[in-house]
Amino acid sequence: MQRLSSRTSLRVKLVAVLFTLVTVALVVISCVGTSILRGYLLGQTDQDLQNTQVQHVAAEAASGSFSSAGEMAQNGFAVWYLPNGGTIQQVVQPGGMELGTTPSGISTLPASVTSALVANPGVTTTVAGRVSGDRWRVIGVPTYANGTRSGTLFIGTDVSSVYTTVQRLIGADVIVSVVVLAVLLLAGIGLVRANLRPLVDIEETAGEIAEGHLNRRVPERDPHTEIGRLGRSLNLMLSQIETAFHAREESEAAAHQSEERMRRFIADASHELRTPLTAIRGFAEYYRQRGGMVRRWDRDQAPAATTLAGTGGGLLPDDLDRIMQRVEKEAARMGLLVEDLLLLARLDQQRPLAHQPIDLLILAADAVHDTRLLAPSRTIELSVQPGAAFLVTGDEPRLRQVIGNLMSNALTHTPDGTPIEVSIGSGTLDPRAPDSPPAVTLDVTDHGPGMSPEQAHRVFERFYRADQARTRATGGSGLGLAIVNALVAAHGGVASVRTAPDRGATFRIALPLDPDAQGGMAADDDLDDLDEAPAETGQDT
């Protein structure tokens, strides 16, 4: 039974339990109702058998007279008399005729019945009639002569109609019960199926989630019901599971991307450092192979020394000067590269920067002035938004480095003579966010070849060069814009680029406006006709 119950569905169990309970209830109601009706009808018959006329007939029977028995026969009663020590005899039957002249009635009383009635006077019992289905109700009344019990008078009446009524009631109960159970079975199946439908939905949703559809949810129900509260709890759990799963996927993707960037970073850094080291090593080997300097050097003997140097006898001072200059340049270049890498490493470790009020307009003006000195053939203009405040909080040397890198990038990656425009104004930190805080914006715009969307998306990556064909002498190491992005992010700002092929590029930095200067905010004048590629704020290691 336990194994059968464990294999049976909840729907079948509920319908079976409901059907069983209702069946038991109908049987009990039918039995109780039938018993009450039969008791009531037989009770009325028993009262008729115990009336005063019965007592009068019993008094007459004691004296051997049955003159009143005929009247009882007219009322549907049958009378028998059993004297002490004698044989039972029927006095009258219903209708005044003697017993046996009609097919109905009973010819005699069974000995078991007469003995029971003699022993229990005044008690009624039911006796089967001569015809199938007939029932008679009989009572035994003692008779006395001179104070001594002389016999027993038995009086009976036909109660077949009572049992027929009871049988009809039982048949009606059976028919009604079958109809009720059939209707109840159909209604119960439909009701149970409708009420268990939310559980079926939950089962289907769980199956779809198991197949990988994490966005599926249980249909919402009334929260005041158990199913509604269960569905709401499941939806909350599923939302948390989906969020955790997506977070895990994003974490794994970020870890994989970070690993790829780390490998690329190490490979690029190693390549960039290997170039100057190779040059320095080459010059050192060249110096060693030539045997060092000429031991005795005299300007008057220059022709002889030159001949000697040409045959491997040593290096002249001019040759050594050129070698040392090249070594110095390569060492300086390697030193700058190492400093840039150390700066990025410090920013990755989130080392604190200095925090002091800085007027970004002063830094922009100084950068424009310095660039004009470095490139006098360029047209470099500075435009300032009137009525705006440009006070930010940050590290002044680092912010100067940010603006200097942007200016150097514009000079390096545009043809000679291309104008450069620097504009400073006010706006918001992220124009796409509805509640973005106020910020100071600085744009460096060139009119060079521009970049494609893919190049613009990667322009802030470390060691990335939009033009891979550029030499290191003219193209830089690929760390300038990465440092810009890292320093701006460390100041709580956003670095972005707006560019399109053959339409130049505009590099923008947005730094949070100092709280003391927020009264000078103005609307932001975005360049809507150019594509924007915001820098990634996450730092590579």
Q: Check pLDDT > 80 for residue 222.
A: no
- For the beta sheet containing 438-446, the strands, ordered from the edge strand earlier in sequence to the opposite edge, are 380-384, 420-428, 438-446, 505-512, 494-499, 531-534
Q: What's the rounded mean pLDDT across residues 132-159?
A: 83
118 vs 472, higher pLDDT? 118
CA dihedral 259, 265, 266, 267 (to 10 degrees): 110
Q: What's the rounded mean pLDDT across residues 330-353?
A: 73
> Which CA distances in Å does 165 have to 39, 159, 469?
12, 10, 113
pLDDT band at 131 (very low <50, low <70, confident <90, very high): low
Q: Say whether both 482 and 467 belong to one domain.
A: yes
Q: Say whether both 317 and 448 belong to one domain.
A: no
SS3 of residue 318 by DSSP: helix
| DSSP string of 202-241, one letter each residue | HHHHHHHHHTT-TT--PPP--TTSHHHHHHHHHHHHHHHH
Which residues partner with 425 through β-bridges? 441
Angle, helices 480-490 vs 396-412, to 10°: value is 150
pLDDT of residue 512: 92
In eight-state DSSP terms, residue 535 is P
CATH number of the structural domain spanning residue 66: 3.30.450.20
- For residues 461 and 449, the answer to whether their CB atoms sit within 8 Å is no
Q: Check pLDDT > 80 for residue 306.
A: no
pLDDT of residue 97: 41
User: Where is average pLDDT lowest: 158-162, 262-266, 405-409, 422-426?
Assistant: 262-266
**In whole angstroms, what is the distance from residue 69 CA to residue 505 CA?**
134
pLDDT of residue 94: 67
- For residues 421 and 516, the answer to whether their CB atoms sit within 8 Å is no
Bridge-based pairing of strands 380-384 and 420-428 is parallel
Boundary of a domain, candidates 107, 129, 158: 158
User: Where is average pLDDT lowest: 189-193, 308-312, 391-395?
Assistant: 308-312
> Which CA distances in Å does 520 have to 43, 271, 299, 390, 537?
108, 48, 71, 8, 27
Q: Say whether both 149 and 175 belong to one domain.
A: no
pLDDT digits (tens, 9 = 90+) for 502-535: 888 999 999 999 887 765 444 444 444 444 455 4
Q: What's the rounded mean pLDDT across residues 185-196?
A: 84
User: Where is average pLDDT lowest: 204-208, 378-382, 516-520?
Assistant: 516-520
> Residue 188 CA to chain centroid, in angstroms?
32
Q: Say whether both 339 and 428 belong to one domain.
A: no
SS3 of residue 78 by DSSP: strand
Close Cβ partners of 55 (under 8 Å, ≥ 6 residues apart): 141
- For residues 166 and 37, the answer to whether their CB atoms sit within 8 Å is yes
| DSSP string of 374-390, one letter each residue | H-TTS-EEEEE-TT---
**In whole angstroms, what is the distance from residue 317 CA to residue 327 CA?**
15
- For residues 476 and 412, the answer to whether their CB atoms sit within 8 Å is yes
pLDDT band at 538 (very low <50, low <70, confident <90, very high): very low
Q: Check pLDDT > 80 for residue 98.
A: no
Q: Check pLDDT > 70 for residue 307.
A: no
Q: Say whether both 148 and 7 belong to one domain.
A: no
pLDDT digits (tens, 9 = 90+) for 445-479: 998 888 888 888 888 887 777 665 444 444 566 78
Q: Say whether both 319 and 462 belong to one domain.
A: no
Q: Say whether both 39 and 54 belong to one domain.
A: no
> What are the structure tokens assigned to 522, written together?
């103005």
- Domain hosting residue 323, numbered range: 267-348
CATH number of the structural domain spanning residue 371: 3.30.565.10
pLDDT of residue 251: 86
Q: Say whether both 59 and 172 belong to one domain.
A: no
What domain count does the chain have? 4
Burial of 18 (0-12, 13-18, 19+ CB in 10 A): middle
Q: Check pLDDT > 90 for residue 56.
A: no
Q: Is residue 387 part of a domain?
A: yes
pLDDT of residue 459: 87
Q: Say whether both 515 and 438 belong to one domain.
A: yes
**In whole angstroms, what is the distance from residue 510 CA to residue 425 CA?**
10
Q: What's the rounded mean pLDDT across residues 232-252?
A: 84
Residue with tokens 């109601």: 29
Q: What's the rounded mean pLDDT across residues 205-231?
A: 78
pTM above 0.75, yes or no: no
**Cβ atoms < 10 Å from Cβ of 140:** 25
pLDDT of residue 320: 73
Output the average pLDDT for the chain.
78
Q: Is residue 262 part of a domain?
A: no
Most confident of 1-5, 48-52, 101-105, 490-494: 490-494
SS3 of residue 506 by DSSP: strand
Q: Check pLDDT > 60 for residue 541.
A: no
The runs of H, that is alpha helices, within 375-465 are 396-412, 453-458
